[in-house]
Amino acid sequence: MSCIDVQCVSKLYGSIKAVDNITLSVKPGKVFGFLGPNGAGKSTTIKLLTTLMPPSNGSLSILGIDAIANPLQVRHKIGVVLQQPSYEPTLSVEKSLDKYGMMWNVSKNERKKRMERLLVDFDLNEIRKKRNEDLSIGQRRRVQVAREFMHDMELLFLDEPTVGLDPTARRNLLDYLKKRVKTGLTIFYTTHILSEAEYLCDEIAIIDKGKIITIDSPDALKNKFGKEKTIKIHLLKKHPDVSSMLSTISDCEINFKNGTNIIIHSEQSELVLLQILKILNDNGIEIEDLSAMPTNLEEIFLKMVRENSSDN
């Protein structure tokens, strides 16, 4: 059985199709990454899946429950950290955690136990007495994510939880999430940071303009595009005709930056590179630096979003 089963779901805001006919499913114990540029429809999708609003069309099953017919049943079983900051300004960090546990009817003993663990796991011990309004943005975000773990849940939705976190806090959170997934938690995770998705997620969906462009494992995504390499050439000096000279080469996409940097994406990188070097050499154009590397996930993402835009 899937933990999340979304069939042909759309959401319209007036005439804007924020989510456009998406279908996806998430298996228990997995981390599903939802990636896309600003305005792609990530937060709207999270709001639909967490029953904060109903879809315009389609069907949604969360933990086997029809989420459109029984939103409250769903809400009792899931955790949600939305993109917007949410905190009570005058409460201290420890009171925030405790109050959240109370809201979820967690017993006093259990609340105390969980709070002490979370204060350590989220590196909040030193600031446990501080009021939320006196915290930094990153500290506040950590409290907002930590308090969600005060209650039991099978499925957790996180909408860009690492925004504002420094690299150490970011890595800590990702490792904490991985640990929880090992004990059976399922996570639906949005981000636009590809390296994060690659580190954490079992499957990645790329969404743009409300539509899912692709769903695959990080490895499969890389394999699909794995043949592609990025070649970077730095010329010693600007040359006015270099772009027209290279325009005759096929099987590649060439971009020029500042007149001296040439970036080439190609699946035939060796062939393309030979041709480029010949042209540059024949014309006496000197190279200062040259590198070729496999296209990373970040570039795959940008390319897919670009291609999706030009198709429309």
Ligand X SMILES: Nc1ncnc2c1ncn2[C@@H]1O[C@H](COP(=O)(O)OP(=O)(O)OP(=O)(O)O)[C@@H](O)[C@H]1O
Closest C-alpha to 181, from 160, 199, 163: 199
Judged by beta carbon distances under 5 to 8 A according to partner kind, the member of Mg ion, ligand X, none in contact with residue 13 is ligand X
- Using an 8 Å Cβ cutoff, are 291 and 231 in contact? yes
Residues of this chain, 234-293, that bind ligand X according to CB under 6 A: none
CB nearer to ligand X: give 42 or 114: 42
Please name the residue ranges forming H helices in the chain: 42-49, 71-75, 93-103, 108-121, 137-148, 167-182, 194-200, 218-224, 242-246, 269-282, 297-311
| Position 44 contacts Mg ion (CB under 5 A) | no
Tell me which of Mg ion, ligand X, none is bound by residue 258, counting a contact when its beta carbon lies within the kind-specific cut-off of 5 to 8 angstroms. Answer: none
287 by Cβ neighbours in 10 Å (0-12 / 13-18 / 19+) ranks as middle
d(CA 188, CA 197): 11
Residue closest to Mg ion (Cβ)? 43
Of 204 and 254, CB closest to Mg ion: 204
Which of these ranges, 13-21, 62-70, 214-222, 263-271, lies near ligand X under the rule CB under 6 A?
Answer: 13-21
Residues whose CB is less than 8 angstroms from the CB of residue 222 and which lie 6 or more positions away in sequence, other chains included: 294, 297, 300
Cα separation, 94 vs 103, in Å, equals 14
Size of residue set near Mg ion by CB under 5 A: 3
Site for ligand X in 64-83 (CB under 6 A): 83
For residue 10, the minimal CB distance to ligand X (Å) is 12
Considering only 24-32, 36-44, 195-203, 272-280, which stretch makes contact with Mg ion by CB under 5 A? Answer: 36-44
Q: Which of residues 157-196 bind ligand X (CB under 6 A)?
A: 192
Nearer to ligand X, 59 or 83 (CB): 83
HSE, side-chain direction, 13 A CA sphere, residue 47: 16
Cα distances from 27 to residues 57, 114, 203, in angstroms, run 23, 27, 10
Return the residue of 10, 43, 50, 191 that touches Mg ion, per CB under 5 A.
Answer: 43
54 binds ligand X per the rule CB under 6 A = no
By CB under 6 A, the residues from 20 to 49 that bind ligand X are 36, 38-44
Q: What does 84 bind: Mg ion, ligand X, none (CB cut-off 5 to 8 Å by kind)?
A: none
Between 101 and 161, whose beta carbon lies closer to ligand X? 161
**Least distance (Å) between residue 43 CB and ligand X:** 3
Interacting partner of 102 out of ligand X, Mg ion, none (Cβ under 5 to 8 A depending on kind) = none
- DSSP labels, 92-150: BHHHHHHHHHHHTT--HHHHHHHHHHHHHHTT-GGGTTSBGGGS-HHHHHHHHHHHHTT
- 83 near Mg ion (CB under 5 A): yes
Residue type, 207: I
Strands 65-66 and 78-81: unpaired
Would you tell me which residues interact with Mg ion (CB under 5 A)? 42-43, 83
Would you tell me which residues interact with ligand X (CB under 6 A)? 13, 16, 18, 36, 38-44, 83, 192
